[in-house]
Chain A
Amino acid sequence: MSVSTIAETAGTETSTVAGTPRRRRRSQRLSPLLVAFVLVPFAVESIWVFWPALQGFWFSLTSWDGQTPPEFIGIDNYAELAGDATFRGALVNTVIWLVLFGGLSVVGGFGMALLLQRERRGVGFYRAALFTPVVFSLVVTALVWRVFYQPDGVADQILRAVGLEHLVRAWLADPQTALYAVILPALWRQIGYVMVLFLAGLKAIDPALHEAARVDGANGWQRLWRVTIPQLKGVNAVVLSVIVIDSLRSFDIVWSLTRGGPYHSSELLSTYMYSAAFQSLRLGYASAIAVVIFVLALAVILGYLVRAFREEA
């Protein structure tokens, strides 16, 4: 880190000192082809991402059914959101999702990475087993688990077998359990992914650090907290960003399993936004929900960009 900062300051200094001659060389080297190499991809992204994003903010200030032209109504959509119980429920569910899905996949993924970090017999198979669900789409995951939750499906049979039949219920159709019944499959798929990220991070830690700590008399627990976790700072930041962004984006699995129901009990901001837009055809209102999702993600996005910016220096 410190090396790259030094290199950065050195780099800016030379370019300011030797500004003029370098600039001449620069313009000489820039062939139209290279300009096109940058501009064409940038234009594609502008058309399909940047411009739509700006439009999205604008639409959030309008009332629009998609047929007649959008009508500017200021912040009315946001005012309505503040009093919308479904929106508030979706917001709470999104926070629950973030904490449970995010928290448990980090704990689970990190735990598995610690257990499976050492190369030994069988570890390859265990890693592959935990990783397998990552390959499936969330729709496939949803269907696999839908069968599991089916009335008289495997979940119920297992409960009956261990004598807990009073717990048996329509897992996805019961407002009390629907959200959690959706989080479980999402976790099943995410833990292997987080594990791979941590495994890569653990591999990059210098074993000499652990050796030194051991010589100093640190036990396993102390080494975990004082050596491993601090050394994983970079990975932790990435995992955190991935988890928050993934949580706020989560849509497929909820849509495939419950569509946010029953009675909005598993509604997330993302699913509420989708149904407000394409089922209720309230495009302005849906855009306002999308802006809220964006604002929630903003801190993480900025953090990620700052990190990327430092790396590119």
Chain B
Amino acid sequence: MIRKLRTGTFHTGMTLLSLLWLAPVLWVVVMSVRSFDDIATNGVGSLPHSFTLDTYRQAWTDGGELRALVNSLLVTVPSVLLSLGLAAVAAYALSRYRIPGRRTILLLMLAGNLLPPQILLIPVQKFSELTGLYDTLWALIAVQVGFGLGFYTFVLHGFMRDLPGEIQEAATIDGAGPAQIFARVMLPLTRPALAALGALSFTWIFNDLLWAITVLRTDDRMPVTPALLALQGQFVSSWNVIAAGTVIAAVPTVAVFLRFQRHFISGLAIGAVK
């Protein structure tokens, strides 16, 4: 009896809390399909009295979300691939071969990722101006790769180090060189870790604001996060359009999360249980 009561309390409490947690999201989605007049007469907090998808069209074309989304993907996809690729080869060499000073190199690379980005902002901006990359997506890709690399290398190193040595020895006896062992043996075995880091880094890079506004200036080149802030300035009190823009900006990371849910969570937990 007491047990039943406790279970009941638990589920009631948790259901309420979950709804409370999701309420802001649901409510923004609802608001994004309301018309301007509806919001003007009934207020932002009321239940919907209208339905329109014109808000999405406005955010998508007039607000420049389409172009921003393209920019975001042009930055995020190469950044994820490049940083994971570079981190994988570094982790492979550092974990499977006796590179002199390998531990120092690894920790130095990790330390770079732990630095507060503030210390890097001004030098990175000046360096990108110097190299002519300032205000191009290349600068953003480069800094995302450079900054993320240390952490990815560290995680992949831990993963590769724990793979059994016999596989590598067998491949060596069969006459495979380091490159072949990497491509044919290690990479396939590292896939779970790569998937986890891939899902994580996609959201991190896609969601970034600070680096984007540091190395980019032109509105047309901004990825989705700064564009969303600009949208807010453009459609000052059109809360429905801003809500639609917010939904559009959130969809890609939500999609990646739903697709790679398991990897995503395990990626977050990698640091915790090790």
Chain A residues at the B interface, C-beta cutoff of 8 Å: 22, 26, 29-31, 33-35, 37-38, 40-42, 44-45, 47-53, 55-57, 59, 66, 115-116, 122, 125-126, 129-133, 135-140, 143-148, 150, 152-154, 156-157, 188, 192-193, 196-201, 203-204, 234-235, 238-239, 242, 245, 248-249, 251-252, 255-256, 269-270, 273-274, 277-278, 283, 286-287, 289-291, 293-294, 297, 301, 304-305, 308-309, 311-312
Q: Tell me if B119 and A37 are in contact (CB < 8 A).
A: no
Q: Which of B15, B22, B127, B239 contacts A132 (CB 8 A)?
A: B22
Within the assembled complex, what's the spacing in Å between the Cα atoms of A52 and B253?
Answer: 30
Q: A115-B10, A200-B269 are in contact. Are A144 and B24 (CB under 8 A)?
A: yes
| Residues of B with C-beta under 8 A to A44 | 86, 142, 145-146, 149
Chain B residues at the A interface, C-beta cutoff of 8 Å: 10-11, 14-15, 17-19, 21-22, 24-25, 27-28, 31, 43-45, 86-87, 89-90, 92-94, 97-100, 102-103, 105-124, 126-127, 142-143, 145-147, 149-150, 153-154, 157-158, 177-179, 182, 203, 206-210, 214, 224-226, 228-229, 232, 239, 242-243, 245-246, 249-250, 253-254, 257, 265, 268-269, 271-274
Q: Tell me if B149 and A41 are in contact (CB < 8 A).
A: yes
Q: A30-B99, A132-B21, A248-B116 are in contact. Are A234 and B273 (CB under 8 A)?
A: yes
Q: Tell me if A252 and B210 are in contact (CB < 8 A).
A: yes
Q: Which of B98, B257, B273 contacts A29 (CB 8 A)?
A: B98
Q: List 29 A-B contacts (CB under 8 A).
A: A26-B98, A34-B97, A37-B178, A38-B102, A41-B109, A41-B153, A44-B86, A45-B109, A53-B119, A55-B123, A55-B126, A115-B10, A126-B15, A126-B18, A137-B224, A139-B207, A143-B232, A143-B243, A152-B44, A156-B45, A192-B21, A197-B272, A234-B272, A273-B121, A277-B122, A294-B119, A304-B114, A305-B110, A305-B114
Q: Tell me if B272 and A238 are in contact (CB < 8 A).
A: yes
Q: How far is the CB of B147 from chain A (nearest CB, A)?
A: 6
State the main secondary structure of chain B at its contact with A. Answer: helix
| Residues of A with C-beta under 8 A to B246 | 140, 143-144
Q: Tell me if A30 and B97 are in contact (CB < 8 A).
A: yes
Q: Tell me if B119 and A196 are in contact (CB < 8 A).
A: no
Within the assembled complex, what's the spacing in Å between the Cα atoms of A233 and B80?
Answer: 32
Known pairs A26-B100, A139-B207, A274-B118. 15 more at Cβ < 8 A?
A31-B178, A34-B93, A38-B93, A42-B90, A49-B150, A50-B112, A51-B127, A52-B124, A136-B253, A152-B43, A200-B269, A274-B210, A293-B119, A297-B114, A308-B154
Within the assembled complex, what's the spacing in Å between the Cα atoms of A55 and B105?
Answer: 20
| Residues of A with C-beta under 8 A to B179 | 33
Within the assembled complex, what's the spacing in Å between the Cα atoms of A67 and B226?
Answer: 26
Within the assembled complex, what's the spacing in Å between the Cα atoms of A26 and B98?
Answer: 6
Q: Tell me if B44 and A150 are in contact (CB < 8 A).
A: yes
Q: Tell me if A140 and B250 are in contact (CB < 8 A).
A: yes
| Residues of B with C-beta under 8 A to A234 | 272-274
Q: How far is the CB of A88 from chain B (nearest CB, A)?
A: 18
Q: Tell me if A143 and B242 are in contact (CB < 8 A).
A: yes
Q: How far is the CB of A140 from chain B (nearest CB, A)?
A: 5
